[in-house]
Chains A and B, each alone.
Chain A
Amino acid sequence: MVKKIREIARKLLEEGKVDVVLGYEKGTEPLSERPFVARTVEEVERLTYSPFAIQNLATYLPRFNNNKVAILARGCTTRAINVLISEGQIERDKIYVIGIPCNGVIKTRELRESIGEEIEDVSIQNGEIVIKTTTEEKKVKFEDWLNISCKYCEYPNPLFYDVLVGEEVKPRGGGYPDVEDYEKLDEDKRWEIFEAEMSKCVRCYACRQSCPMCYCEHCFVDSTEPRWVEPGFDKTDLESWHLIRVLHMAGRCVDCGTCELVCPEGVKLLFLTRKVARDLKRDFDYVSGLNPEKPPFFGEFRYDDKGDFIL
C-alpha cells in the first residue's frame, strides 16, 4: 500500500500535475505518524501510511488554496472535503484525491500510555497490534484500540477519488451506542461525567487546530469583545468552550475523531459531537459531508422541522 502511494505521488509530482502531496510520514517514535507535505520527488520516499496516522488531512487544504494539491483521503477526509467545498473554502478541481479505504485508526496516545514502557517497534499482523518494548513483546487486539468513531463508521471508503489505493472495505456501521449509553444515565451523573471530562482540558486548543472544520481566522474563544470564554481554568469556561465548539460543529462535523485523538489530556470529546450528529441524523435526516451541493445544516430549514419543544 505504501509502495503504491509513493508510486502515485512520484508520478503526480514528476508530471507536474500537482505542486504538493499531502500525506503522512513516520513520527519521531514508533506508533506515531504525522502529517507530511511532499513538495519534491525526493521527499516522496518519506511518505507512509498506517492506522496510526490519526490526523484528518483535510485540515490543511484551505492553506494550500493557491496550489494544486494531492491528498491522501479516507472516507472521513472526503466528507470533510465536501463540507469545505460547500462552505466555499476550497475548489474540487484543484484537489487530486488519492482514496484510501480505511479500517479505522488507532487511539495511539491511549495505547502508548497503557504500555507504559518505551516502545521500540510496532507492526500489525492478523488483526493484532504487535508492540516490541525494551523488555518484551506485547500483542493487543486491533479492534480494542479503535477510535470510537471508526468502530461505528458508516463511510470507511472515500466517497469520491481520482485514484483508489487498495480494495474497498465493508462499513462497520452500528449507529451510536456510545451516545445512547450516556443518555441512559441520570441527569446528575451525566453532568458529573461531563464536568470531570471538561476539567481535564488545559486549553491547548489542539482539538481546534487539528479539526478540518475549524478554519476561522478569528476563533470565538480568542474574542475579547464580547468575551465568550474568559481566560483561566474555571470549569464553566472550559465547559463553555467545548459546548460552543460542538455547536459550531453541528451539521459540519464529519466524525473523524481527530479532535479526541490529538488531545494531550485525553479529554473525551466525541460523545458530544457524535450526540449532535446522531440527533441530526435521527430527527432531520441530515448527514454532514455527503453532498457538496447541499447548503450547511444551519443554512437551510424545512417547514416541518421539529418544533414540539417550543411553547
Chain B
Amino acid sequence: MADYEPKILTILCNWCSYAGADLAGTSRIQYPSNIRVVRVPCSGRVNPQFIVKALRDGVDAVWISGCHPGDCHYITGNYFARRRFYVLKDLLEYVGLEKGRIHFSWVSASEGKRFADIATLVTEEVKKLGPRKKFVKRR
C-alpha cells in the first residue's frame, strides 16, 4: 500500500485550529496534503452525525480540531464538544470500527508547528490502517 493516499476529512474551528493551519501555511511548514479542511465556527458546531455521515460517504478518516479547553471563542463550546466526541468515539470503537479512524485534537492559533505535526501523525496512522473495509457503502 505504498501509493495509498487517504482522504481525511478535517473539521477545524474558525478561531484556533483554522488559524493554526493558516500559520502553518504562512510559516511554510510542510504537512501531508491528504487532509480536506472544512471550517466551522466552533468545535461545538460539530454534530456527531457529521462524522458518521462522512465515514459512510467514503472518507478514510475524520480529524476534528478545536481550541484548547478554556480558550474557546464562545467560552464553553469545546467543552460540550468534548463530551459528544467521547461518546461517539467509544461507540464506534465498541461496534468494531478500527481505532485511528477518528481523531480529535486541540490546536491553538499560535501552534502552526503543532498543526503540521498532528496532520502528519494522523495521515501516517491512517496510511498504516489502509483503505477502509468496514462501513463502506456499495455504489
Spell out A's residues near B (CB within 8 Å).
182-183, 187-195, 220, 226, 228, 234, 236-237, 239-240, 243-244, 246-247, 250, 272, 275-276, 279-280, 283-284, 297-298, 301-303, 305-307, 309-311
Contact = CB atoms under 8 A, between A and B. Distances in A.
Contact of B95 (A194, A234, A309): A194
A309 B89 contact: yes
B127 interface: no
A183 B94 contact: yes
A243 B95 contact: yes
Interface string B75-87: 0100110111111
A311 B56 contact: no
Interface residue SS majority, chain B:
helix
Interface of B: 48-49, 52-53, 56, 69, 76, 79-80, 82-92, 94-99, 103-106, 118, 121, 134-138
A311 B138 contact: no
Contact of A239 (B69, B105, B135): B135
Nearest to B64: A310
A309 B80 contact: no
B87 A190 contact: no
A303 B91 CA distance: 22
A250 B87 CA distance: 8
A57 B134 CA distance: 38
Given A187-B99, A192-B96, 6 more contacts: A191-B95, A220-B49, A237-B56, A243-B95, A275-B90, A298-B84
